[in-house]
Structure 1
Amino acid sequence: MGLFGNYNDIGIDLGTATVLVYVRGKGIVLREPSVVAVDRLSGRMLAIGEEARIMLGRTPGNIVAVRPLREGVISNFHDTERMLRYFLRKVIGKRLFFKPRVVVCVPSGVTEVEKRSVIEATEEAGARHTCLIEEPIAAAIGAGIDIGAPQGNMVLDIGGGTADMAVISLGGAVISDSIKIAGDTFDEYISRYIKKKYNMLIGERTAEEIKINIGSAFPRKEEAYMEVTGRNLISGLPKTITISSNETIEAMQEPLNRIMETMHSVLERTPPELTADIAENGICMTGGGSLLYGLDRLLTERTKIPCYVAEDAVSCVAIGTGKALESIDVYSAGAVYDYRRGDYYNQGY
């Protein structure tokens, strides 16, 4: 059956905002926010996933609701390991005799220490063997791009913590880059904008709701509005304002410009033959951040290359991880990395 020839094999999109779990032969079976709620005094885990997300910004002093992953990497090893253990048990039950083999997605720019941290957390959580796959490659596979073809395809994956971009040809990334600017950064800049312009403080969840409901990267045909309630920084009392979609463009201008600059840098370093392929095929956008209204139009206007959002953009990385898992020998050349061997997985393992 080979290294990954078991029905228990699992692919994990270990995202800053959401964890998606793909089980071989079943598809995506779990989609939960990567949030944990912990009792500060005892260290006991009180809630994980959606239950913990509801607590964000609403906990008493002895309970803290946090994201154990920040900017695409593990910021709290112990909480990440407990969260992964909970999700793995939820997926495969308590049959610890049948430990799963796991492929985990990581951003393209992670260090060796960060890779090791992901593998150790996954194996501490109950995995039998762990391999890694870079997010843009998994996203390309999940979006239905033939990554093994001798032609250039460019993928931009905007998640919660990182924006990963790569030019892919013959099964591997020719040029890739990763910046720690993504969905969470958009939320942060919306909060800052409202604080500066209206002297009002809003929570993390409220900023995310603004981004999802009226957030825009490009002017809308009809401007959208939303009522937002927060705390007045001068009086300390609740305050309600109405903000427009055009204000969100202004608020997110800086992080969007950083993403454009990084994309421009990747395109500048791309061999001319592959650049011609990209101009013909277009740039594929995946991840929750790519769903920001008008972002595809903004990128098309700035790069002069057609950009499009993949079908089911949020799940592309998890689906791609699962496909790589199910066809491990097909995607072994430059996609799935076995850290123990210090090399890409191959048929002769």
Structure 2
Amino acid sequence: MFSRDIGIDLGTANVLIYVKGRGIVLNEPSVVAIDTNTGRALAVGEEARQMVGRTPGNIVAIRPLKDGVIADFDITEAMLKHFLNKINVKGFLAKPRILICTPTNITSVEKKAIKEAAEKSGGKQIFLEEEPKVAAIGAGMDIFQPSGNMVVDIGGGTTDVAVLSMGDIVTASSIKLAGDKFDQEITDYIKKKYKLLIGERTAEQLKINVATVFPGSRYEEMDIRGRDMVSGLPKTVTINSTEIQEALEESVAYIVQAAKSVLERTPPELSADIIDRGVILTGGGALLHGIEQLFSEELMVPVMVAEEPMSCVAKGTGLMLEHMDKIARKKLG
């Protein structure tokens, strides 16, 4: 086995790449800066993210993935090519085998688009695997046993909920509501309450530094600057945790509801396992303050946040590739 195996967590918000034997070698925002006059990509990843909301009119920062699927094919391909060149896996004998993660309910057309983009970026064989399955493996769950494991993967564009057993998904649900929607809710709330327009990055800072989703579990304040909708001039206001909790209440309740409905559809034997083992939260959304308390209270089972929840899917791709090799070796043996 000389070809380098690569696992890609192709996320709406971030792309992480795992290379066999080297671990996670790249973690960058899924953003491409395009010059609208020439159509050329000027920057990709972190460099492009720095430009969001700060560029002249002819430069736009585009996120080519929406809700976990490809919204702009050519730009996704350009972004993948750029990242794969950056980690320099090419000049190493064969073309790499690539394992890419997708949300659970994407269509065959969407799957085909992801496969094609990866092939054009230089992959030899492309495998697609469902995100919650890979996240569960990356979070350290042994999903190949005949017992129930439940994972809630809250990403940038989608939240995937799944119950797994014997290496496969038993019941699952994927909703197009996750980290990006939280940012949007925060932006809308501040616009409505304070008549203040804030940018994406400010909303994200509030989500990280001030937000909580469990009433009364945190109290922080933060001064934010934006543009007053009435006067058109810059203005500063102070926002606290309680306000952000209010802003996020509806979205988070929707995710909890998705988890409940998956539990309700789970066979009783597996439900019993989940009461013992609990639920694991992965993805960037698992870092939201108070989220495990909220889930635990609503689902009435133990809930834990995975270690390094943002890199679970990428780590899982690595373990999944090893598992595929083991199976291949068994077949040959």
Q: Bin the TM-score by the shorter chain.
A: over 0.9
Q: How far did 1:327 drift?
A: 2.0
Distance (Å, rounded) in 1 between the aligned partners of 2:72 and 2:78: 10
Task: Give the 3 Å change call, closer, same or farther, for CA 221–263 of structure 1 in structure 2.
Answer: closer
1:162 aligns with 2:158: yes
- How far 1:100 sits from its partner (Å)? 1.1
Change over 3 Å in CA distance of 1:215–1:222 after alignment to 2: closer
Residue deviations 1:15-53, cap 9 Å, x none?
111100000111101111110001101111100010000
- What's the C-alpha RMSD, in Å, of the aligned pairs? 1.5
In the other structure, the counterpart of 1:22 is 18
2 CA distance for matches of 1:299 and 1:221?
Answer: 14
Q: Establish whether residue 212 from structure 1 lines up as the match of residue 208 from structure 2.
A: yes
CA contact (8 A) 2:4 2:97 kept: yes
| Identity in percent | 55
**1:65 maps to 2:46:** no
Determine whether 1:189 maps to 2:185.
yes
1:278 matched to 2:270? The reply is no
Which has the higher mean CA deviation after the structures are superposed, 220-229 or 7-16?
220-229
- Letter in structure 2 aligned against 1:195: K
| Cα offsets for 1:237-268 (capped at 9, x unmatched) | 00100000111110011111110111111111
Number of residue pairs aligned between Structure 1 and Structure 2: 331
Q: Distance in 2 between matches of 1:9 and 1:311?
A: 24
- 2:131 aligned to 107, 111, 135, which one? 135
| Aligned amino acid, residue 61 of structure 2 | A
Shift of 1:331: 7.2
Deviation digits for residues 255-283 of structure 1 (CA, Å, limit 9, x no counterpart): 11110111111111000000000011000
1:42-121 matches, within 5 Å, as 42-92=38-88, 94-95=90-91, 98-121=94-117
Q: Deviations over 1:148-198 (max 9, x none)?
A: 111000000000000001000000000011000000000000000000000
Q: Distance in 1 between matches of 2:297 and 2:41?
A: 47
Q: Answer whether contact 2:212 2:218 (CA < 8 A) is retained.
A: no
Tell me what 1:316 maps to.
312
Moved more, 86-95 or 309-318: 86-95
* Equivalent AA in structure 1 for residue 199 of structure 2: G
In structure 2, distance between residues paired with 1:41 and 1:58: 17
Aligned residue identity for 1:83:
M
Secondary structure at 2:143 match in 1:
coil
Q: Unpaired segments of 5 or more residues in structure 1?
A: 333-345
Q: CA deviation at 1:96?
A: 8.1
Question: 119, 125, 141: which one pairs with 1:123?
Answer: 119
* Deviation of the 1:98 alpha carbon: 3.0
CA contact under 8 A between 1:215 and 1:249: conserved in structure 2? yes
**Aligned: 1:250 with 2:240:** no
Equivalences for 1:3-18 in 2 at 5 Å?
5-18=1-14
- Give the deviation of 1:95 after TM superposition: 2.4
Q: Using the alignment, how far apart are the partners of 2:139 and 2:2 within structure 1?
A: 25
Whole-angstrom CA distance in 2 between matches of 1:17 and 1:331 = 32
Name the amino acid aligned to 2:129.
Answer: I
Which of 237, 252, 255 aligns to 1:259? It is 255
Greater displacement, 54-63 / 214-223: 214-223
Separation (CA, whole Å) in 1 of partners of 2:93 and 2:78: 19
CA distance in 1, matches of 2:34, 2:203: 23
Q: How does 1:27-38 map to 2 (within 5 A)?
A: 27-38=23-34
TM-score with structure 2 setting the length: 0.96
**Gapped runs of 5+ residues in structure 2?**
none
Q: Which amino acid aligns with 1:34?
A: S
